Amino acid sequence: MRMPGHKRCRAVRGALAMLLLAAPLAACKDENRFVPPPPPQVGVAAPLKEKIDRYVFGTGNASAVNQVDLVARVAGFLQDIKYQDGQFVKKGTDLFIIEPLPYLSQLQQAQATVDSDTAQLKNAASEYARQSALGAKDFASQARVEDALTRRDTAQAALAGAQASVAIAAIQYSYTRVTAPFDGVVSAHLQSVGELVGGTTPTKLATIVQLDPIWVTFTLSEQDVLRVRGLLRKQGIVTRADLLNAKVPVEVGLQNETGFPHRGILDYVAPGLDPSTGTITVRGVFTNDDRALLPGMFARARIPIESGVEALLVPDTAMGADQLGRTLLVVNADNVVGLRHVVVGETVGSLREVVSGLKPDDRVVIEGLQRAVPGQKVVPQVRTVSRAS
């Protein structure tokens, strides 16, 4: 018997409703479970064992060994300038000429006085000799002999005074030529030809600077000073004279240079530390024939204190830091990351020396540091540390 149409529709709708209600119930039977991601992969490597040199470092500036203001020491009109601004000149080169004729005339006048006094002395000496001989035979009184002696001595003193005047006039005349006191570079001239210079006070004409050799002065911390002194004592260098005689090498580098390409020797150590800064001033002298170093340039400096020291090196990029100091991430035998506080030393290219806090067989995280979390497991991928790391 067939059902009426409206009853069949109701039956179909009821069956669909039951199916829709049953679907969520069936779904509730499946449980949602969290599947953790696999441990991250990181690159690990044992520290590189290698012999290195150790240094103490400082910062400072280059300064000229000699730098002198050239001044007009006599009054007169500037007659000539004998160099080009910024020119390198040799010692003794004429640089400025101050009108020499007035001073040459004074020198000639003083020399003429010497000639006259020389003749006067010659005559007075002859007269004294004659009167002395006559007096010895009682043909001249003692008074005449003494007068002759007085005239001779007076003429002798006058000649000495005239000779001193010649020396003074010669010095004044030499001052009309301003010469280079040493090899160096002369700055731009400050006075023009035709200007009156000298006067009551010396007039600055220019400055000459010696560039070869050149000094680099820098400071070392008190800790570095104590460290250096201890190592020098082991080498038998005890006194300041020992230190300077030992010709301790000094190396410097400029801001745009890699490493420390300029090499010199230590030539000065301050007698004490500056209590306000806790540093000591030291100085090295460097050949500078290429003029790479100029006075006033900032320079990084280092002094080698030990050579051939066994060290553990890791990439500097693997280093971290916190409030307690420098850190490294190390993976243990269970592949769990741990945080290790270390004491660092020298920089060797892209590597950093680890003085303490690390063992030769430790596995240091050198790649994927952002994925290595202390206390969590990782999948270590073995790498090798080299000078090119």
**Other CB atoms closer than 10 Å to residue 137's CB: what's the count?**
7
Instruction: Domain 55-65+212-308: give its CATH superfamily.
Output: Efflux pump adaptor protein, beta barrel domain (2.40.30.170)
C-beta separation of 366 from 378 below 8 A: no
Q: What is the DSSP letter of 300?
A: E
C-beta separation of 245 from 266 below 8 A: no
pLDDT, tens digit (0-9, with 9 covering 90-100), for 243-277: 667 788 899 999 898 889 999 998 888 888 888 88
Three-state SS at 236: coil
Cα 24 to Cα 13, 15, 21, distances in angstroms: 18, 15, 6
What topology does CATH give the domain 71-209? OB fold (Dihydrolipoamide Acetyltransferase, E2P) (2.40.50)
Rounded Cα–Cα distance for residues 361 and 353 (Å):
15
**Closest by alpha carbon to 168, among 119, 106, 94, 121?**
106
pLDDT, tens digit (0-9, with 9 covering 90-100), for 8-43: 556 555 555 555 555 554 445 556 777 778 899 999
pLDDT, tens digit (0-9, with 9 covering 90-100), for 314-363: 999 999 999 989 999 999 999 999 999 999 988 888 899 999 999 999 99
pLDDT, tens digit (0-9, with 9 covering 90-100), for 161-201: 988 999 999 999 999 999 999 999 999 999 999 999 987 88
Rounded Cα–Cα distance for residues 89 and 219 (Å):
33
The per-residue pLDDT for 1 is 46
- Greater pLDDT, 35 or 240: 35
**Closest by alpha carbon to 228, among 216, 214, 246?**
246
**Other CB atoms closer than 10 Å to residue 53's CB: what's the count?**
14
Three-state SS at 317: helix
The per-residue pLDDT for 15 is 54
- Greater pLDDT, 29 or 84: 84
Taking the domains of the chain in order of start, what are their residue ranges? 43-50+310-382, 55-65+212-308, 71-209
Rounded Cα–Cα distance for residues 46 and 363 (Å):
5
Compute the chain's Rg from CA coordinates.
46
What topology does CATH give the domain 43-50+310-382? 2.40.420
H-only helix segments in the chain: 5-27, 101-136, 142-174, 222-234, 240-245
